[in-house]
């Protein structure tokens, strides 16, 4: 290739680069979302410290909190990372009722109110959602167990209990339960301290009847494990609602 040809080729390549289409990707930016949580009448504000969550189901961003900023006991406000058009699910709940609302993210959003108008229903005040223990648990080793669960009643979960194999210290080191509207985690303290078979979640959360939830449970030592690697490691301590 002579010098003139090389110059022409270089010029054509540069021109191609300049006119080539540029891929543009939507960038997540902070968005503010705020509103008021109301009781079932749609007028009375929820009490101070009512639980709520905001979930960007598109980006996966999730945040929980409690209501209340002067002078509104039911007021909530969060900042989330997302893109305009993302589907946002806002949920609020107490011990007997819950409410939820879905919106499409569009800049900073105010007045996104939620009414707690869905009854969780009267049930026995205390019960335990328990996976039970297999008759032949061995062999069982520490590891990460992933799967799904689908409760047939709505329950308010507070902690997780791990069955150890006889003569061992089988326990759960970490647990996460989540779906598009809920996300809860629990982590054990280091070592075998206090009641280490019970693992408390950072705050109570609701498992809604007939909804499917993902879980990850990381175990240590020798917990009970059923055949086919379906975990029988734990019972969720819960109040049925």
Model pTM score: 0.49
Which residues 6+ apart lie within 8 Å of 110 measured at CB?
A: 32, 34, 35
pLDDT, tens digit (0-9, with 9 covering 90-100), for 61-70: 888 889 998 8
What is 127-240's CATH topology? Answer: Jelly Rolls (2.60.120)
Q: Report pLDDT digits (tens) over 160-204.
A: 877 776 667 677 888 899 998 888 888 876 655 555 667 788 888
Tell me the domain boundaries of the chain: 29-119, 127-240
Q: Which CATH number describes the domain made up of 29-119?
A: 2.60.40.1120
CA distances to 89, 132, 154, 212 from 209, rounded to whole Å, are 18, 19, 4, 9
Span 13-56, pLDDT tens digits: 444 444 444 444 456 788 999 999 999 999 999 999 998 888 88
């Amino acid at each position: 290739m002579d010098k003139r040809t090389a110059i022409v080729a270089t010029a054509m390549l540069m021109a191609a680069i300049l006119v080539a289409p540029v891929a543009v990707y939507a960038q997540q930016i902070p968005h503010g979302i705020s509103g008021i949580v109301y009781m079932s009448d749609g007028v009375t504000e929820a009490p101070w410290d009512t639980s709520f969550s905001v979930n960007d189901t598109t980006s996966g961003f999730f945040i929980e909190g409690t209501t209340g900023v002067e002078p509104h006991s039911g007021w909530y406000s969060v900042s989330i990372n997302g893109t305009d058009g993302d589907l946002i699910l806002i949920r609020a709940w107490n011990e007997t009722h819950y409410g939820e609302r879905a919106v499409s993210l569009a800049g900073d959003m105010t007045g996104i109110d939620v009414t707690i108008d869905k009854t969780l229903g009267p049930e026995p005040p205390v019960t335990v959602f328990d996976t039970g223990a297999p008759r032949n648990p061995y062999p069982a080793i520490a590891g990460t167990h992933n799967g799904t669960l689908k409760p047939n009643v709505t329950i308010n979960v507070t902690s997780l209990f791990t069955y150890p194999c006889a003569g061992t210290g089988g326990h759960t080191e970490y647990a996460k339960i989540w779906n598009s509207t809920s996300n809860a985690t629990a982590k054990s303290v280091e070592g075998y301290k206090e009641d280490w078979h019970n693992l408390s979640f950072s705050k109570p959360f609701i498992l809604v009847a007939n909804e499917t939830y993902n879980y990850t449970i990381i175990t240590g030592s020798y917990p009970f494990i059923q055949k086919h690697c379906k975990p029988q490691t734990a019972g969720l301590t819960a109040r049925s609602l």
